[in-house]
Amino acid sequence: MLQEIFSPDNRVMIFITKIVYSVYLNILWFICCIPIVTAGASTTALFYVTLKMAKNEEGSITVQFFRAFRQNFKYATKVWLIMLAVGVVLGIDGYVLYHMRFENALWTVVTAVFLVAVAAYLIIAMYIFPLMARFDNTVRRTFLNSIILGMRFLYCTALMALIYFVMAVIVINIFTPAIVFGEGLCAFFCSYLLTRILEMLAPKNEEDEASEENPDTEEIPEGMSEEMPEENSDAKELTGKI
């Protein structure tokens, strides 16, 4: 009985192992985020690994993380710096609006526009790094695809937001040491939600038979390219849009 419970093939043990991997990934993610400017590449690398974990395709966690970090560094850093700049602007705007509370129509309209902008920003933040981890694209199209997916799959978006919210509440108000799970565990759970959505971006066509014969390859959706399997290539190829 105990042998079956602690068997590496037991689903419970597999899940526990992935949780442990998530903790380790969170440590790698945090260390690589310390310079701040590298946070985008670090988060993209994190989702690269957790998306593989969600499909039971993970190999060497450390090797995969730093390979994705290196391959996505320039692209992800550019996106991250844009996100950081917009986040700072929204933060300043929010501070100003909070301290200029006027009960008039103009303030109400400006606040409503601000809240919509914040919602759009948060949606993009939840989707843009998994998209960069899975597909290669232009910066403009990546931002556009992020908001499109977030609005199209509102149920998934709400669940992802709930995951991050619950983790924040636990760390801040209940059990601060839970920060060891932090972004790693959030990314892991979100990857389970995103896996099917990202697979939907690869519609079947006449080349399905070839894909079935080689299960390590997956059809690329029109206008968007997926990274080549790491066994065959160290770089992403092709560009486009959803």
Report the DSSP beta bridge partners of residue 135: 226
User: Is residue 184 a contact partner of residue 171, using CB atoms and an 8 Å limit?
Assistant: no
Q: What is the pLDDT of residue 215?
A: 44
d(CA 193, CA 160) in angstroms, rounded, equals: 8
Q: Say if residues 100 and 80 touch (Cβ distance below 8 Å).
A: no
CA gap 157, 198 in Å, rounded: 13
Give the model's pLDDT for residue 99: 83
DSSP state of 20: H
pLDDT of residue 199: 86
Which residues of the chain, if any, have pLDDT below 50? 203-223, 225-242
| pLDDT value for 240 | 38
Per residue in 18-32, is it b (16+ CB within 10 Å) or e — as a string? beebbeebbebbbeb
226 strand-pairing partners: 135
Token readout for 152 is 């199209």
pLDDT score of 91:
95
Domain spans, the chain: 2-226
CA distance readout (Å), 15 to 65, 166, 188: 20, 20, 11
Instruction: Report residue 169 CA to chain centroid gap.
Output: 20
Q: Give, in degrees to the nearest 5, the angle at Cα 105 between 150 and 123.
A: 10
pLDDT of residue 208: 46
For residues 96 and 80, the answer to whether their CB atoms sit within 8 Å is no
Q: 104-141 burial, b if ≥16 CB within 10 A, otherwise e?
A: eeeeeeebeeeeeeeebbbbbbbbbbbbbbbbbbeeeb
